């Protein structure tokens, strides 16, 4: 497994692989890898990637000033071991200075799908995500990239960016990997104590608790109460159409339920398709 910290060197390596007809997959992550991330690597292999490039970069540009950038968990050594075990062929571990020149001044903005949900609560978040993912796409030039449904809005925003800016990269979205309890795996779960972990299970129960045919407003009220009663602080509960992310009035098969809530100090998200 090759380890790169230089964007230019990784780009050169990827271009050479492409010249030799190798099919490249990119799996972008912020590290502190868990089984959710490893499932994305597995998906890349199942989709017949010859080279699987995992990027590990806690992207400062996608964090707000009052968010957890400084304390976001970093586990470089363990992450490399996990990538090796999962048979990634290259890992990209850039420093912030490698990714952002001190006078960096170009950003990518998606202007519709990133307005609501997490975009409304985290101003600038998707601008940071789109910018870093566009950079990774340009560095690696993958045939396809794998993202998790865990971040449903993010996957939709990236698909739109790829379409609107003609990246010509297939976006594969892999299902959410969960703990046995139902809690969606997340690097931020490392912030939770045992009691919080138990309470946080309500999010997965909530997203599974909506049926086609229901009125969305009533379902949202019910979920919000469920989450608040479990001792979390609901940030949002939304039921949206899968591609436009617009609110629906009555719930149909294929719609998506998305929730975000604070459990103690930790903001968690989850979602599920009806
Ligand atoms: P992150 O490191 O949190 O930025 O996540 C990197 C990628 O892993 C994103 O595409 C996430 O959607 C995906 N991911 C995170 N958690 C999970 C999970 N529990 N199941 C599947 N994919 C996940």
Asked if residue 163 and residue 64 are part of one domain, the reply reads: yes
For residue 184 and ligand 1, the question of a CB distance below 6 A is answered with yes
pLDDT in tens, the chain (274 residues): 999 999 999 999 999 999 999 999 999 999 999 999 999 999 999 999 999 999 999 999 999 999 999 999 999 999 999 999 999 999 999 999 999 999 999 999 999 999 999 999 999 999 999 999 999 999 999 999 999 999 999 999 999 999 999 999 999 999 999 999 999 999 999 999 999 999 999 999 999 999 999 999 999 999 999 999 999 999 999 999 999 999 999 999 999 999 999 999 999 999 999 9
For residue 147 and ligand 1, the question of a CB distance below 6 A is answered with yes
The CA 179 to ligand 1 mean position distance, Å, reads: 14
Segment holding 238, helix H or strand E: strand 233-240
For residue 185 and ligand 1, the question of a CB distance below 6 A is answered with yes
Q: Catalytic: which of 34, 37, 104, 125?
A: 37
Last residue of a domain, one of 140, 174, 208: 174
What domain range is 210 assigned to? Answer: 187-273
For residue 58 and ligand 1, the question of a CB distance below 6 A is answered with no
Q: What is the CA radius of gyration of the chain?
A: 19
Asked if residue 194 and residue 136 are part of one domain, the reply reads: no
The CA 213 to ligand 1 mean position distance, Å, reads: 30
In a domain, 182, yes or no: no
Ligand 1 atom nearest to CA at 151: 12
In a domain, 42, yes or no: yes
Short-list 72, 62, 59, 57, CA closest to 27? 57
Asked if residue 237 and residue 165 are part of one domain, the reply reads: no
The helix-helix angle for 35-46 and 76-85 (nearest 10°) equals 30
For residue 51 and ligand 1, the question of a CB distance below 6 A is answered with no
Asked if residue 203 and residue 157 are part of one domain, the reply reads: no
- pLDDT value, residue 263: 98
- pLDDT value, residue 76: 97
Asked if residue 192 and residue 170 are part of one domain, the reply reads: no
For residue 82 and ligand 1, the question of a CB distance below 6 A is answered with no
Asked if residue 94 and residue 165 are part of one domain, the reply reads: yes
- pLDDT value, residue 24: 98
| Residue nearest atom 13 of ligand 1, based on CA coordinates | 148
Asked if residue 103 and residue 20 are part of one domain, the reply reads: yes
- For the record, the structure tokens of 152 come out as 């449903």
Last residue of a domain, one of 174, 196, 214: 174
For the question of residue 104 being annotated catalytic, the response is no
Q: Tell me how far the alpha carbon of residue 35 is from its chain's centroid.
A: 14
- pLDDT value, residue 231: 97
pTM: 0.97
Ligand 1 atom nearest to CA at 186: 16
For residue 125 and ligand 1, the question of a CB distance below 6 A is answered with no
Asked if residue 146 and residue 22 are part of one domain, the reply reads: yes
- CATH number for the domain that contains residue 242: 3.30.1300.10
Short-list 57, 116, 126, CA closest to 244? 116
What is the arrangement of strands in the sheet containing 51-56, beginning at the earlier edge strand? Answer: 2-4, 90-92, 51-56, 24-29, 144-148, 170-174
Short-list 20, 15, 19, CA closest to 53? 15
Asked if residue 160 and residue 49 are part of one domain, the reply reads: yes
The CA 123 to ligand 1 mean position distance, Å, reads: 20
Domain count, the chain: 2
The CA 101 to ligand 1 mean position distance, Å, reads: 27
- CATH number for the domain that contains residue 74: 3.40.50.620
Asked if residue 192 and residue 168 are part of one domain, the reply reads: no
Asked if residue 96 and residue 38 are part of one domain, the reply reads: yes
Rounded CA gap, 103 and 84, in Å? 35
Last residue of a domain, one of 139, 174, 209: 174
For residue 40 and ligand 1, the question of a CB distance below 6 A is answered with yes
Rounded CA gap, 269 and 236, in Å? 9
The CA 129 to ligand 1 mean position distance, Å, reads: 13
Contact 146, 203 (CB under 8 A): no
| Residue nearest atom 14 of ligand 1, based on CA coordinates | 148
| Residue nearest atom 6 of ligand 1, based on CA coordinates | 29
Rounded CA gap, 41 and 240, in Å? 29
Rounded CA gap, 272 and 176, in Å? 9
Asked if residue 61 and residue 145 are part of one domain, the reply reads: yes
């Amino acid at each position: 497994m090759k380890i790169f910290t230089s964007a230019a060197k990784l780009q050169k390596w990827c271009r050479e692989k492409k010249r030799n007809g190798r099919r490249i997959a990119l799996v972008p992550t912020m590290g502190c890898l868990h089984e959710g991330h490893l499932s994305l690597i597995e998906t890349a292999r199942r989709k017949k990637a010859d080279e699987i490039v995992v990027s590990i970069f806690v992207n400062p540009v996608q964090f707000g000033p009052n968010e957890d950038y400084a304390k976001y968990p970093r586990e470089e050594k363990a992450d490399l071991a996990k990538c090796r075990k999962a048979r990634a062929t290259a890992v990209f571990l850039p420093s912030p200075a490698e990714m952002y020149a001190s006078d960096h001044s170009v950003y990518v903005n998606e202007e519709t799908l990133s307005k609501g949900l997490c975009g409304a609560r985290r101003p600038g978040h998707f601008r940071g995500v789109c910018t870093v993912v566009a950079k990774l796409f340009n560095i690696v030039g993958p045939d396809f990239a794998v993202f998790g449904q865990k971040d449903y809005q993010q996957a939709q925003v990236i698909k739109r960016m790829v379409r609107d800016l003609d990246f010509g990269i297939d976006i594969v979205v892999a299902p959410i990997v969960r703990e046995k309890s139902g809690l969606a795996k997340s690097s931020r779960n490392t912030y939770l104590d045992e009691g919080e972990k138990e309470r946080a299970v309500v999010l997965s129960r909530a997203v599974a608790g909506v049926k086609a045919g229901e009125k969305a407003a009533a379902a949202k009220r019910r979920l919000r109460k469920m989450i608040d009663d479990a001792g979390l602080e609901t940030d949002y509960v939304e039921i949206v159409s899968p591609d436009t992310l617009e609110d629906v009035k009555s719930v149909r098969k294929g719609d998506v339920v998305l929730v975000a809530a604070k459990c103690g100090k930790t903001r968690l998200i989850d979602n599920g398709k009806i």
